[in-house]
């Protein structure tokens, strides 16, 4: 069956799209508004600002891949669609960080879970971080607008058997669970959201806001890395971009200089603060790149007697917030429970177990389930947080060290996940930790988990949600931008991405980014008019 | 759980010496790597990133990490498929991460550093599976964070590449992506 490739059709209609890797000479581009990054924040802003009549230029470091490129193959998708070719890790290599890098950013490869920013998080930002105007009531219409724009609805079909483990386990134990809202239209329930949607059902930026912006006369430049902002006093005078080769690994030597009236950074946490650091942007209170959060993610593997085929079907459709707010917003670490899609490369790597024990577990993949816990970092003073630094070549890296507070949360998350898996009928649970042997029942699992040394490299950890590093807030001593994303020191610069968040979100962050940046872009359009 | 001091045939003193030597080796690995890179003629034949010297080392390590997962009787073809996959991964990594990975492979494969870092004093071609497993276990439990990190990196790179390709799927009951 032939699926129409919406983006390629648009290109044939004459969209202004330029591949910087093919430049034979340097280039200067002008626009009313230049936006760095084509993910959730950048593309949402681009659509709104171009609809308001501004000439928008969207600049993307990664390549352009469209539905006919998405063949549901892990070994094709990971090197091309993820930051650093899936090589992004915390500085000490202990945490794998999944962030997208392509036209559409992480929205191209996320698992479609779409939650509004929790009320507790918004209230905490107002009371503790000087954020004004973003309380739940003021934000609700913006979330609603983006939910409609991107087809966000609770998943109406049955959850796949992998998600059903979470539902049945919670049901059995009397814990909270609910159905996840997803940004899809006409979803085929295939399960390959993380490798690029082959049917254009996922309402990623590639098939929504970017086409809309291009239809409105905006332009897109890809395989162009924003290297530095050119500063003149308290203004941005331009952006110096380097053209990247087709792999997005090495600069080609060509440069693109961009001039605009207003500039928006939307490269995401890690990349946005790094661009400001490379540009030696004013940072009088040393805030850039600090307080970067990950929703540090722990995993628990289980085996069942029945067939689960955890690599097929909508990857995330059930969640549990039972442990998220139970002990207070600033109490012991809360976490959200979900499941990941379990294609074999991802599964084996998360498990990280070599030799016959790992092979034995992988042999049972069709009967396996994995739960994950997203640990809500940044709400408690003792919570771990990361710091972005620049390597010698100017590329960013995140230093993120565990704390005792975070370790306590990790251990509880392992216990919660094992308990749910056994309640759902697991015959074996293996905490994803190098020292954890498989347990046959909860008593055994508890004994194992309570002994685990929660050191780096022993606990196998990941993150797909990088947030913070350019926090918003009214007080310049504690925030890089004001609550509207306007840089406190640079007049014509805004930040519209997840780096604005003063803490982690406590839910998969994409809708938080859409809703907030839709609001910030709309207000910016009014100011610039 | 085994600790490094419980490894058969290696005394505590030997280990300590290895540890200290290892530190020295790591401290200079970057320098050694860059010197040797300029001495050698770039990537090995048929590879974009892997060096000729990495191949015998990886050929011994891959089957140990994938023990129990490789289809019987096709060892050469599957190990070659992993080598090709690793090369492709390296070719797409950011320069910083690629250079870290290549330095790790240099450390493991160069005559100057291999023995101290891995306990494998003779060439990789002659290393037994048991020796390779011992080296991996020693790195897993090493007091040196860099060895523990290297252990994780080797595992994850090889597992991701192997299970990402169709040759691996019969073993783990994955029918592959749906066709339409």
pLDDT of residue B41: 53
pLDDT of residue B73: 81
pLDDT of residue B2: 37
The pLDDT tens digits of the residues spanning A251-268 come to 999 999 999 999 999 999
pLDDT of residue B12: 43
**Chain B partners of A435 at a C-beta cutoff of 8 Å?**
1
With tokens 């910083």, the residue in question is B96
Residues A390-410 have a mean pLDDT of: 97
**Chain B partners of A312 at a C-beta cutoff of 8 Å?**
178
Fold for A6-112+115-149+190-291+465-528, please state it: FAD/NAD(P)-binding domain (3.50.50)
Look up the ipTM and state it: 0.95
**Chain B partners of A160 at a C-beta cutoff of 8 Å?**
none
Residues A305-313 have a mean pLDDT of: 98
Identity of the residue in A84, A85, A363 whose CB atom sits nearest the CB atom of B171: A363
pLDDT of residue B8: 37
pLDDT of residue B35: 47
Determine whether the interchain pair A345/B152 forms a contact, defined as Cβ–Cβ distance below 8 Å.
Answer: no
Determine the CATH number of domain A161-183+297-376+403-455: 3.30.410
What is the Cα–Cα distance from B31 to A90, expressed in whole angstroms?
A: 23
- The answer to whether the beta carbons of residues A327 and A456 sit under 8 Å apart is no
What are the residue boundaries of the structural domains of chain A, listed by start? Answer: 6-112+115-149+190-291+465-528, 161-183+297-376+403-455
Output DSSP code: residue B171. Answer: T
Quick one: which H or E segment has residue A265?
strand A251-265
Residue ranges of chain B with per-residue pLDDT less than 50 = 1-24, 27-39
Distance from CA of A136 to the nearest CA of B (A): 40
- The answer to whether the beta carbons of residues A177 and A154 sit under 8 Å apart is no
For residue A75, what is the nearest residue in chain B, using CA coordinates? B164
| pLDDT over threshold 70, residue A277 | yes
Determine whether the interchain pair B152/A93 forms a contact, defined as Cβ–Cβ distance below 8 Å.
Answer: yes
The pLDDT tens digits of the residues spanning A19-78 come to 999 999 999 999 999 999 999 999 999 999 999 999 999 999 999 999 999 999 999 999
> Which of A99, A349, A350 should be substituted to probe chain B, the one whose Cβ sees the most B Cβ atoms within 10 Å?
A349
Same fold, A6-112+115-149+190-291+465-528 and A161-183+297-376+403-455: no
Q: How many CA atoms lie within 13 A of A375 on its CB side?
A: 32
How far CA A297 is from CA of A177, A252, A471, B80, B138, in Å, comes to 19, 36, 22, 33, 27
Residues A367-395 have a mean pLDDT of: 97
Q: Which two tokens stand for residue A90?
A: 């915390």
- The answer to whether the beta carbons of residues A56 and A32 sit under 8 Å apart is yes
pLDDT of residue A85: 87
Q: Which two tokens stand for residue A176?
A: 């909270």
What is the Cα–Cα distance from A107 to A99, expressed in whole angstroms?
A: 9
What is the Cα–Cα distance from B105 to B51, expressed in whole angstroms?
A: 9
* pLDDT grade for A239, boundaries at 50, 70 and 90: very high
- Please tell me the pTM assigned to this model: 0.94
In terms of Cα–Cα distance, which of B149, B43, B56 is closest to B87?
Answer: B43
What is the Cα–Cα distance from B134 to A301, expressed in whole angstroms?
A: 27
Say whether residue A70 is in contact with chain B using an 8 A CB cutoff. Answer: no
Residues A80-106 have a mean pLDDT of: 95
In A, residues 170-209, which contact B (CB 8 Å cutoff)? 190, 192
Determine whether the interchain pair B94/A92 forms a contact, defined as Cβ–Cβ distance below 8 Å.
Answer: no
End-to-end CA distance of chain B: 47
pLDDT of residue B108: 96
* Mean pLDDT computed over every residue of chain A: 97
Higher pLDDT, A484 or B77: A484
Tell me the sheet residues that pair with A459. A433, A456
* pLDDT grade for A473, boundaries at 50, 70 and 90: very high
Say whether residue A126 is in contact with chain B using an 8 A CB cutoff. Answer: no
Query: Pairing between strand A95-97 and A461-463?
Result: parallel
Output DSSP code: residue A158. Answer: P
pLDDT of residue B79: 95
């Amino acid at each position: 069956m032939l699926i129409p490739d919406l983006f390629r059709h648009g290109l044939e209609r004459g969209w202004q799209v330029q591949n910087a890797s093919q430049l034979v000479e340097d280039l200067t581009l002008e626009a009313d508004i230049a936006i760095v990054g084509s993910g959730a924040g950048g593309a949402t802003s681009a659509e709104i600002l171009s609809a308001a009549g501004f000439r928008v230029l969207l600049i993307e470091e990664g390549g352009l891949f469209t539905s006919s490129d998405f063949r549901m193959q892990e070994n094709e998708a990971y090197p091309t669609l993820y930051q650093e070719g899936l090589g992004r890790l915390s500085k000490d290599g202990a945490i794998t960080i999944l962030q997208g890098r392509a036209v559409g950013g992480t929205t191209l490869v996320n698992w479609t879970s779409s939650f509004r920013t929790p009320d507790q998080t918004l209230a905490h930002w107002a009371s503790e971080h000087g954020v004004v105007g973003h309380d739940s009531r003021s934000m609700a219409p913006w979330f609603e607008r983006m939910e409609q724009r991107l087809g966000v609805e609770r998943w109406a079909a049955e959850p796949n058997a992998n998600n059903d483990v979470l539902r049945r386990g919670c049901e059995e134990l009397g814990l909270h669970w609910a159905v996840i809202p997803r940004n899809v239209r006409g979803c085929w329930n295939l399960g390959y959201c993380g490798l690029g949607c082959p049917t254009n059902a996922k309402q990623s930026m590639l098939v929504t806001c970017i086409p809309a912006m291009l239809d409105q006369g905006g332009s897109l430049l890809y395989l162009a890395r924003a290297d530095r902002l050119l500063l003149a006093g308290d203004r941005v005078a331009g952006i110096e971009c380097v053209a990247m080769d087709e792999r997005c690994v090495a600069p080609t030597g060509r440069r693109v200089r961009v001039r605009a009236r207003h500039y928006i950074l939307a490269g995401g946490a890690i990349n946005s603060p790094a661009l400001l650091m490379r540009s030696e942007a004013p940072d009088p209170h040393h805030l850039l790149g600090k307080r970067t959060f990950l929703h540090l993610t722990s995993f628990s593997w289980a085996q069942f007697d029945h067939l689960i085929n955890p690599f097929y079907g909508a990857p995330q459709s059930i969640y549990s917030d039972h442990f998220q707010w139970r002990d207070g917003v600033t109490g012991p670490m809360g976490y959200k429970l979900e499941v990941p899609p379990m294609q074999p490369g991802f599964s084996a790597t998360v498990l990280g177990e070599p030799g016959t024990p790992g092979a034995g577990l992988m042999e049972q993949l069709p009967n396996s389930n994995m739960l994950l816990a997203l640990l809500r970092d940044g709400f408690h003073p003792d919570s771990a947080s990361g710091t972005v630094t620049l390597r010698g070549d100017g590329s960013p890296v995140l230093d993120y060290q565990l704390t005792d507070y975070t370790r306590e949360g990790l251990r509880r998350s392992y216990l919660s996940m094992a308990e749910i898996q056994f309640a759902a009928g697991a015959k074996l649970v293996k905490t994803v930790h190098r020292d954890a042997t498989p347990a046959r029942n909860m008593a055994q699992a508890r004994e194992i988990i309570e002994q685990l040394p929660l050191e780096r490299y022993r606990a196998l950890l990941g993150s797909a949600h990088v947030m913070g590093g350019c926090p918003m807030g009214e007080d310049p001593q504690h925030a890089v931008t004001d609550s509207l994303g306007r840089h406190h020191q640079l007049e014509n610069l805004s930040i519209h991405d997840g780096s604005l968040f003063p803490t982690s979100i406590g839910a998969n962050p994409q809708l938080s980014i859409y809703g907030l940046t839709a609001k910030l872009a709309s207000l910016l359009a009014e100011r610039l008019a | 759980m085994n600790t490094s001091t419980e490894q058969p045939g290696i005394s505590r003193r030997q280990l300590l010496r290895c540890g200290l030597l290892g530190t020295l080796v790591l401290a200079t690995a970057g320098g050694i790597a860059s010197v040797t890179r300029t001495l050698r003629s770039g990537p090995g034949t048929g590879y974009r990133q892997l060096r000729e010297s990495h191949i015998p080392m990886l050929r011994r390590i891959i089957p140990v990490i994938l023990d129990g997962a490789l289809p019987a009787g096709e060892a050469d073809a599957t190990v070659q498929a992993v080598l090709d996959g690793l090369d492709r991964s390296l070719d797409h990594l950011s320069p910083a991460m690629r250079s870290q990975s290549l330095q790790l492979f240099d450390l493991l494969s160069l005559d100057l550093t291999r023995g101290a870092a891995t306990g494998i004093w003779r060439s990789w071609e002659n290393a037994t599976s048991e020796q390779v497993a011992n080296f991996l276990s020693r790195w897993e439990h090493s007091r040196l964070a860099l060895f523990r990190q290297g252990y994780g990196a080797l595992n994850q790179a090889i597992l991701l590449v192997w299970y990402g390709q169709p040759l691996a799927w019969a073993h783990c009951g994955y029918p592959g992506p749906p066709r339409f």
